[in-house]
Amino acid sequence: MKQFMHDLLLVAKKDLRIEIRSRVIINQVVPFALLVLVLFGFALDADQKTLRAFSPGLFWIAVLLSLLLAIQRSVSLETANDSLTGLKLAGLSPVAIFFGKSVAIFTQLVFLEIFLTGGIIIFYGSVIEDPTLWVVAGLITALAVSVTGTLYGALASGLEVRETLLPILLLPVLAPVLIGATKAYSGALGETVSNGWQWTGLLSLFALIAATLGSLAYGVLVEE
């Protein structure tokens, strides 16, 4: 178990270190997500009231689109230097690699969510009425999408059409997460009367299933 945590953190730290050094998250992904928020503003209405009503959904759409970018980067880190083979040769278990990569993406997503929260408060004038729900639902959703994303990143990796294949494979699978996270966040914003904690429960269930299944499937995938 200790060895497992060590391996997991090793992989996570490696990915995060590369991300921090390259500054792609801060220089490209965060601005991209904020750009999405602004584009929705142009597309929907200049009226803050409309935007506030849609802000939970727009928030999560921005997260999912940014997730696609983060996954693509995470996969290209492995394929570029064939470091996955290296990690396997070093004796790391596939489960540890899987969770390590998930933790790296999770961290990036949480970082992104902080910026986006600021974004919707400033651009759309949203008011967070239930901060606990906001934070818990945000963390659990980030977990759910990062484990699913890591698995699908591995599924699409090494294929010629990876960039286009990943969204059509991943996004339908994440449909219940989008519904749940949006509902939880509208509850936290007090926009609609919805049971945010019930939705957070569903999100946790999804995260749990995705983590279990993902770690098993990842083992099958990296046999290659």
Partner 1 sequence: MSAGKMLKQNQGVTSSPKSRLLGFATLLGLVTLFVFAFFLTDPDVRLHPTTGEEIGQFDAVRLLYLHVPMAIIGPYLAPLVGAVASIGYLIKRTPWWDVTAHAAIEVGAIFCGLVLVQGSIWGRPVWNTWWEWGDVRIMTTLILFLMLLGYLALRRVVADEHKQARRSAIVALVAAINLPIINRSVEWWESRTLHQKSTLSELKIEDLTFFTLMMGIVVFLMLFTWLVLHRFRLGWLEKESLKQEALTAIEERRAVAVTNEEETS
What does the binding site for partner 1 look like in residue numbers (CB under 8 A)? 151, 155-156, 158-161, 165, 168-169, 171-173, 175-176, 179-180, 183, 198-199, 202, 205-206, 209, 213, 217, 220-221, 223-224
How big is the CA angle at 82 (ends 80 and 83), to the nearest 5 degrees?
Answer: 105
Q: How far is the CB of 217 from partner 1 (least distance, A)?
A: 5
Is-contact 104 19, C-beta < 8 A?
Answer: yes
Q: How far is the CB of 130 from partner 1 (least distance, A)?
A: 18
What's the number of CA atoms in the CB half-sphere (13 Å) around residue 27?
Answer: 6
Q: Which two tokens stand for residue 55?
A: 């802000």
Q: Which stretch of DSSP H or E encloses residue 165?
A: helix 162-173
Q: How far is the CB of 211 from partner 1 (least distance, A)?
A: 13
Q: How far is the CB of 156 from partner 1 (least distance, A)?
A: 8
- 187: buried, middle or exposed (CB in 10 Å: 19+, 13-18, 0-12)? buried
- 37 versus 145: smaller Cβ distance to partner 1: 145
- 147: buried, middle or exposed (CB in 10 Å: 19+, 13-18, 0-12)? buried
- 30 versus 207: smaller Cβ distance to partner 1: 207
Is-contact 8 87, C-beta < 8 A?
Answer: no
- 34 versus 63: smaller Cβ distance to partner 1: 63
- 30 versus 156: smaller Cβ distance to partner 1: 156
Q: How far is the CB of 203 from partner 1 (least distance, A)?
A: 9
- 26 versus 61: smaller Cβ distance to partner 1: 61
